Amino acid sequence: MHELDTILSTLRLEADPELSTLFYQFEELYEKKLWHQLTQSLIQFFHDPKSVSLRLRVYDTFINKFIDKINQLSVVDFLLLSLKATEDSEEALRYLNELILEFEQIDSKKQRNDGLRSHDFGVFLIKIEIARIYLHQNELIKSKDVLIDISNKLESNESVPLRVTSAFYDVNAEYYRLKKDFNSYYYTSLLYLSTLDMFNNGGSTNITVSNTDEDMKNFAYNLSIGALLGDKIYNFGELLNHPIMKYLVTDSKYEWLLQLLNSLTNGDFNQFDKIVTVQIKKNKILAEHESFLRQKICLMTLIEIVFEKNIRTISFDDIVEATHLPKDNVEHLVMKAISLGLLKGSIDQIVELVTITWVQPRIINVEQINNMNQRLVEWDEQVKLLGEKIELQGKSIWV
């Protein structure tokens, strides 16, 4: 204990005066073996930006002495926060692999039925972070190998902590972004967002993630790009209604992106063409996929007119008017929509009619809800008029 007193005293003298009280707390709580309270004090310390220069030394000289006494995920988080100050990825990998070995050694001494949990989830979290470092090193294959291994283990485990699941989705999403797998990136990112405390009450509280406004703007931007370029994503309702989009709404720099999403949602070709002419040319990845976006707005417009109309049969002329396509391309467009699972139906080439039997369920926006409400009101009025007509003309029969 005397050695520990000396270590903490040295660190306290080097720390910012505002942090000195915490070091007294560390000493007292450690001596009393109040591990939960000690963990909370350490979280307070690691949360403070003034602790950056001392974090790794606190981890090395203090936390390392009782990692078997406190929550395993907290230990990993303390190490991750300590490593944020280093730009040496090899050093970070060394620390992470050393902690895996320490967890394994602790578990090897664990006796059957001693009531202590294994450190599997701590090891999973460390390996996920190792996969993240591989991504930063552009070692995508090595990163994916680690993620596949973790995925198999997570599937075979029950009650996986949300902290681990959150990190897994986060790193997977980044992998898909780098691979330009837009569909997987979009859906995995939504899963990641569902684990964040800021968007979901009771979600994962990850003390290693700051989630600044700028971070959220970048995330919302990348998520929007994923939605636009995903060849299996033809409804933006979930995205446009997600709280993360407020970070784009409040920044005029991204106004064009929101307009682009809405133009595809509403089938607004004039707005779409305006944005393509002015903005998309400035955005390399969207410019590379301009022809795909033109096909996508046609498909989304087809789904929109099917959704809006009260009848199941739509003429080729209606589709031409809505999509601005030549009539010769209508059949191919409908077949494409059917092959993508966006709708079910049949085409009568002779009379140039499309019969729709099913449309893919979708999340709708406020404007679409209002349109649906108006149609229900009109339908209700028609039913009332029909009822009155039947009652008037059928009086003699009913009497």
Q: Note whether residue 384 is domain-resident.
A: yes
Burial class (CB in 10 A: 0-12, 13-18, 19+), 168: buried
State the Cα–Cα distance between residues 300 and 184, nearest whole angstrom: 20
Q: Which residue has the higher pLDDT, 82 or 373?
A: 82
Q: Note whether residue 379 is domain-resident.
A: yes
Q: Note whether residue 376 is domain-resident.
A: yes
Q: Note whether residue 88 is domain-resident.
A: no
State the Cα–Cα distance between residues 246 and 226, nearest whole angstrom: 17
Nearest Cα neighbor of 155 from 168, 144, 143, 142 is 168
Provide the domain count of the chain.
1
Query: How many angstroms from the chain centroid is the CA of residue 184?
Result: 10
Burial class (CB in 10 A: 0-12, 13-18, 19+), 72: buried
Q: Note whether residue 382 is domain-resident.
A: yes
Q: Does the structure show a pLDDT above 80 at 379? A: no
Q: Does the structure show a pLDDT above 60 at 399? A: no
* Each residue's pLDDT tens digit, 21-75: 999 999 999 999 999 999 999 999 999 999 999 999 999 999 999 999 999 999 9
b/e per residue 144-160 (b: at least 16 CB within 10 A):
bebbeebeeeeeeeeee
Q: What count of other Cβ atoms lies within 10 Å of the Cβ of residue 113?
A: 6
CA angle centred on 293, ends 288 and 299, rounded to 5°? 155
**What pLDDT score was predicted for residue 395?**
60
User: Predicted confidence band at 391 (pLDDT cuts at 50, 70, 90)?
Assistant: confident
**What pLDDT score was predicted for residue 202?**
53
The per-residue DSSP string of 27-87 comes to HHHHHTT-HHHHHHHHHHHHHSGGGGGGHHHHHHHTGGGSTTTS-HHHHHHHHHHHHTT--
Share of the chain above pLDDT 70, in %: 91
Q: Does the structure show a pLDDT above 80 at 396? A: no
Q: Does the structure show a pLDDT above 80 at 218? A: yes
Nearest Cα neighbor of 181 from 137, 218, 226, 138 is 226
**Domain range for 389:** 369-398
Q: Does the structure show a pLDDT above 60 at 250? A: yes
Q: Note whether residue 216 is domain-resident.
A: no
Q: Note whether residue 386 is domain-resident.
A: yes
Q: What is the mean pLDDT of the chain?
A: 90
pTM flag (> 0.85): yes
Q: Note whether residue 388 is domain-resident.
A: yes
3 state DSSP class of 4: helix
State the Cα–Cα distance between residues 72 and 122, nearest whole angstrom: 5
The per-residue DSSP string of 228-293 comes to HH-TT----HHHHTSGGGHHHHT-GGGHHHHHHHHHHHHT-HHHHHHHHHHTGGG-HHHHHTHHHH
